Amino acid sequence: MIFERFGITPIINAYGTNTRLSAGPLSDEVAEAMRAAATASVDILDLQAAACREITRATGAEAGFVTAGASAALLLAAAACMARLDAGAMNRLPSTREGRCEFLISRSQRNMYDRAIETAGGRLVDVGIPDRVSGAGVRDASAAEFADAITPRTAGILHVAQPHAEPPLPGIARVAREAGIPLIVDAAAQLPPAANLRRFIAEGADLVAFSGGKAMGGPQASGILAGRGALVASALAQMLDLDLPEAQFRAPAEFPALSQLAFFPRTGIGRSCKVGREEVMGLLVALQRFTSEDAATRQARWQARLDAVRQASGLVFEEAMAGEVPLLLLRCVDAPAVEARLRAGTPAVHVNPARLRDGMLTINPISLHERDCARLGQLLRAALAD
């Protein structure tokens, strides 16, 4: 394996699609698409136009393109909301002359990844009191509180999609629509189900960010930004290499709003978010595979990995579901110590630590390679015996 050539020992990833652990193995089809893409040069704008056609079919959005991950998509989405199709405003980011730089977010939805909005020059404004999360009560932010928080400085609203997110997306969408401001949905980890590719657009989102390197099965450094055509075009313009004579530029039919730019902006604030041909093609093949595979087939593949772990270990597990993803739960007397022994082994084994305080090791099958399942079962048994 190529890693050993550089002195790196691969791990067994039973944690899930965690970026720190490089997510899961690519399918042969996705890996081959990336390899083949690396053998020729293409015009990146033409490539993103092709990506737009695939993404709009999958999401129902007006437009979309491939980004360097969901965080890059959020950064570009914020930049689009602040600059729109004003090339001068694009040049000034992360500063804003008119001051429309604030993004409203429910206080209960704040997270490590919303810094992408601030990186573009935005400022997050918390709305509501998350008593239901802190345990102090039952209330959370309401759509009416969002409406009350809108000012002339409001550039958009950020909604982090989770099963129990408050306020619900449709109510927030009505507020955003009535105020004439864009609504961004962070749906990085909201696949599966595949229906979520269309759900957030259908419920009123103006821009939606998805991760490509999680359950979709694409390259780890890939994602999708989809939504309203003019906003998507603004985001794309702030990532593209536009170092060419303006007379040579032709806006593709997939991104007609690019022709509304009064002049070419300088290299945009999203330039560090650029994505290569290999990631674009790998993501598109992964998207096709994900949308063509039914949930039962996908779930059966994941369940087979867990069954192999169970059989090789001879241990008694509890079962659980995380949406459509089956999980194994292993109850331990001293779960933190067992988890530490697993990480210290060779190969290192990483399990999901979310329930360590409950005395549980969580085995997630998404990033497990079939070749590692039996070995994982044996290492779990050995770690419990120590």
The answer to whether the bond into 94 is cis (omega within 30° of 0) is: yes
Average pLDDT, the chain: 96
This prediction's pTM:
0.95
Q: What is the pLDDT of residues 116-129, one digit of tens each?
A: 999 999 999 999 99
pLDDT, position 24: 84
Tell whether the model's pLDDT for residue 319 goes beyond 80. yes
Q: What average pLDDT does the segment 96-103 reach?
A: 88
> Is the pLDDT at 96 greater than 90, yes or no?
no
Given this model, what pLDDT does residue 30 score? 98
Q: Does pLDDT of 175 surpass 80?
A: yes
What pLDDT was estimated at residue 97?
76
Give the Cα separation of 104 and 173 in Å (integer): 12
- pLDDT tens across 260-273, in order? 999 999 888 999 99
pLDDT in the model for residue 134: 87
For the stretch 47-93, pLDDT in tens is: 999 999 999 999 999 999 999 999 999 999 999 999 999 999 999 99
Distance of CA 122 to the CA centre of its chain: 19
Q: Is the pLDDT of residue 101 over 90?
A: yes
Q: Give pLDDT, residue 311.
A: 97
DSSP string, 244-289: S-GGG----TT-GGGGG-SSPPSSPTTGGG---HHHHHHHHHHHHH
pLDDT at 98 over 80: no
DSSP 118-147: HHTT-EEEEES--HHHHTS-S----HHHHH
Which pLDDT score is estimated for 1? 78
